[in-house]
Amino acid sequence: MDLFTSATGNEYDEILSLRRELEEANRLYYIANAPTLSDREFDEKMHRLIFLENLHPEWADSNSPTQHVGSDLGKKNFEQVNHKYPMLSLGNTYSEAEIRDWVRKLPENVEIVCELKYDGLSISLWYEHGVLTKALTRGDGLKGDNVIRNILTIPSVPRRIEGEQWPDFVELRGEVLLPWENFERLNRQREADEEPLFANPRNAASGTLKLQDPNEVARRGLTCYLYYMLGDNLPGTTHSARLEEARKAGFPVSDAIRVCHSVEDVMSFIHYWDTERKLLPVATDGIVLKVNDLTTQQQLGYTAKTPRWAIAYKFPAEKQLTLLRKITYQVGRTGVVTPVANLEPVQLSGTVVQRATLHNEDFVRQLGIREGDRVWVEKGGEIIPKITGKAEDSPTDASPVPYSFISVCPECGTPLVRVPGEAAWRCPNETGCPPQIQGKMIHFVSRKAMNIDGLGDETIALLYEQGLLHDIADIYSLKLADIAQQERLGDKSAANILAGIEASKKVPWHRVLFALGIRMVGETTARKIAKRFLSIDTLQWATIEQLTSIEDVGPQIAENIVNYFLDERNLSILVRLREAGVQMESDQPDETAASDLLAGKTVVISGVFSRHSRDEYKAIIEQNGGKNSGSVSRKTSFILAGENMGPEKRKKAEDFGVRLVTEDEFLEMINPS
Ligand code: IVH
């Protein structure tokens, strides 16, 4: 359906569902840094919603996502500050014709400044009396998070501005970015650390800017370009003159700026950068057009969300038509079966694409694609190629047979199940399906679980194929010769692997529980469960009620745990792990046992902790005879200091010479061994 044809269906329902969808997409984009819609999909849905709302003013709603910008405000980890001037977004289009139209409607002979549209996140820098005092994110457009400590890690951002021409208050706006090179380095590091990868530099920059540790921010290497100046009595009467002043004052202003006098000038700028931008060190996703003269800007004014004096042209994602040769199915480590498009190889943004995920059954059905179709492959800012549609005259258009997903697991032949409410088909044969068995082993040896050095994915696959590993317990029966005789593995790596296996017997109970790979039992949840159930023997008999009374454990997780212990095969694995010497119980005494070890002590808690919550620490202090206090004074005995302790408390602690005690030191203190 064309975007702007008015559907005959229920437009009110469509408006409501678009609003819901766009709100959720905003949340995922700005808060979770894990977008699910591509920019293009988002923009198209937004344009459709704007169209429908214009068609039906009677259904207007001031809470609609068309009426406000998405919010990136975090969970109050930063000081929130009201913007002096609201931070708006820009109207955008993918159509050159609309750009021509926009230019045509401007007053005659106005100059238009063309700039690159940097694809990072916007930042507002406040210079008060010449000194950089605040750096605010866009937030909800009206107030933002003050991330100045992180911005100060960017060397090109001036700490102060000097000269008579600057008024007491100057605001500069720009974009914070993570250059391609640093983005790739960061993702390589995250891969090694088994952390989820960032989908693109924008998400990586956004995640980085919201970190609490400026040292880590500095290591990642953000950069910044400034493109807008605000304030009273600023020098210059045009936008370009102001940017020039900013550049002279040492601000990082891009060179890729052109003052255009005609729509043809604008178009040539757009076409030039559409290819040239690929050589830039940072991500760009379009061109911004701005009316140069500031008085004309004022006359044109603003809508609720965007200035009328500026617009963005967005570059189309690169796309190609190619043949969908075959749909194959991949079984993941958790048993999820994913359809994969096997394509006739095609060149796209410098790489050859021959496979692309089709996500799940619904995705394939929505696209209406079948083997033998010619399909569109796109590569946008998301980096990973995707299939976005099929050619108009596809051979399967006339086919009456609907697409159907496979019904049995391609790896083990077990009938697949589709969990209600989930999009995925899953192979339920957790303990007998090869990729799932290997997946469990890979998880078991991973760094945050048993941390068995040297036993990587490939070695596991090799040993599995040779019949030396059938399940995680087999790892403890491996012999030096078994490993050493493998291709690419000599005596030295074999000895190394065995040493790693031996060392893993010391891994504490909560990590062993995580390593077992019970569905949905992550690192933190395992820690909490292990604290409540101090051994596998007590956990085995835990009821759903007991389990759900633990923080973070919902009914689904509880059920997964109970089911885990109902499976004979798991029980036999557990017996063998215990026999091998793996820790199946906590060797830590109950940390919260009462004592008078803190009698007469006044303790201040500050920061974030990993082993107990703040409230738990308060209780532990009292149980051990101590007193809690909210503020640091001369009477404070010590500060129980977690991560990211507040700067004020830190300063007072220094002033009064109060000792900082880490979480581990504290637990040691009340549990002397
Ligand atoms: S001007 C009131 N110029 O794009 C106008 N924005 O989609 C303020 N952006 O929020 C924005 N490059 O984060 C402007 N050269 C540029 C830009 C730019 C990137 C971002 C900015 C803005 C978003 C709108």
Active-site residues: which are they? 117
For residue 3, is pLDDT > 50? no
Nearest residue to 18 via CA among 55, 59, 46: 46
145 strand-pairing partners: 80
283 CB less than 6 Å from ligand 1? no
> Among positive and negative, which fits the CA dihedral 385, 391, 392, 397?
negative
The tokens describing 377, both together, are: 């492959």
In the three-class reduction of DSSP (H, G, I as helix; E, B as strand; rest coil), residue 324 is classed as strand
The model's confidence at residue 346, banded by pLDDT at 50, 70 and 90, is very high
CA-to-CA distance for 245 and 479, rounded, in angstroms? 71
Q: Are 33 and 203 in contact (CB under 8 A)?
A: yes
Point out the least confidently predicted range of 39-43, 134-138, 176-180, 300-304: 39-43
More confident of the two residues 155 and 7:
155
What is the distance in A from the centroid of ligand 1 to the CA of 385? Answer: 26
What is the distance in A from the centroid of ligand 1 to the CA of 117? Answer: 6
What is the distance in A from the centroid of ligand 1 to the CA of 219? Answer: 26
198 CB less than 6 Å from ligand 1? no
What is the distance in A from the centroid of ligand 1 to the CA of 82? Answer: 19
Nearest residue to 30 via CA among 88, 76, 74: 74
Contacts made by residues 529-538, CB under 8 angstroms, sequence distance 24+: 529/553, 529/561, 530/586, 531/586, 534/509, 534/585, 534/586, 535/509, 535/584, 535/585, 535/586, 536/509, 536/574, 536/578, 536/584, 536/585, 537/584, 537/585
What is the distance in A from the centroid of ligand 1 to the CA of 89? Answer: 7
pLDDT of residue 348: 85
In the three-class reduction of DSSP (H, G, I as helix; E, B as strand; rest coil), residue 376 is classed as strand
Helix (H) or strand (E) holding 532: helix 523-532
Bridging pattern class, strands 112-118 and 284-291: antiparallel
**Residue with CA closest to ligand 1 atom 10:** 89
CA distances from 451 to 325, 491, 497, 526 (A): 41, 20, 11, 16
119 CB less than 6 Å from ligand 1? no
pLDDT of residue 393: 77
Per residue in 84-115, pLDDT (tens digit) is 999 999 999 999 999 999 999 999 999 999 99
More confident of the two residues 393 and 629:
629
What is the distance in A from the centroid of ligand 1 to the CA of 615? Answer: 43
Q: Are 315 and 368 in contact (CB under 8 A)?
A: no
For residue 2, is pLDDT > 70? no
273 CB less than 6 Å from ligand 1? no
40, 173, 175, 311, best to mutate for ligand 1 pocket (most atoms within 8 Å of CB) = 175
115 CB less than 6 Å from ligand 1? yes
382 CB less than 6 Å from ligand 1? no
The predicted model gives 337-360 an average pLDDT of 90
122 CB less than 6 Å from ligand 1? yes
Residue 310 CA, closest ligand 1 atom number: 5
Rg (CA), the chain: 30
117 CB less than 6 Å from ligand 1? yes
Nearest residue to 123 via CA among 213, 222, 25, 42: 222
118, 226, 285, best to mutate for ligand 1 pocket (most atoms within 8 Å of CB) = 118
227 CB less than 6 Å from ligand 1? yes
Residue 88 CA, closest ligand 1 atom number: 2
Q: Are 530 and 509 in contact (CB under 8 A)?
A: yes
CA distances from 528 to 126, 247, 287, 523 (A): 43, 53, 50, 9
Residue 312 CA, closest ligand 1 atom number: 7
The predicted model gives 277-281 an average pLDDT of 91
**Residue with CA closest to ligand 1 atom 9:** 117
69, 227, 273, 308, best to mutate for ligand 1 pocket (most atoms within 8 Å of CB) = 227
Cα angle: 591, vertex 593, 598; to 5 degrees: 90
Per residue in 207-220, pLDDT (tens digit) is 999 998 899 999 99
89 CB less than 6 Å from ligand 1? yes
For residue 57, is pLDDT > 60? yes
For residue 590, is pLDDT > 80? no
Per residue in 598-652, pLDDT (tens digit) is 988 999 999 888 777 787 788 788 878 889 998 899 889 999 998 888 888 888 8
Buried b (16+ CB within 10 A) or exposed e, 495-511: ebbbebbeebeebebbb
In the three-class reduction of DSSP (H, G, I as helix; E, B as strand; rest coil), residue 513 is classed as helix
The tokens describing 297, both together, are: 């800007």
What is the distance in A from the centroid of ligand 1 to the CA of 314? Answer: 12
CA-to-CA distance for 673 and 671, rounded, in angstroms? 6
What is the distance in A from the centroid of ligand 1 to the CA of 16? Answer: 28
Nearest residue to 52 via CA among 64, 63, 42: 64
**Residue with CA closest to ligand 1 atom 22:** 89
What is the distance in A from the centroid of ligand 1 to the CA of 103? Answer: 18
Point out the least confidently predicted range of 21-30, 258-267, 579-588: 21-30
Which ranges in 446-489 belong to alpha helices (H)? 457-465, 480-484
**Residue with CA closest to ligand 1 atom 17:** 117
The model's confidence at residue 244, banded by pLDDT at 50, 70 and 90, is very high
CA distances from 306 to 86, 141, 309, 623 (A): 10, 11, 9, 57
CA-to-CA distance for 171 and 126, rounded, in angstroms? 5
228 CB less than 6 Å from ligand 1? yes
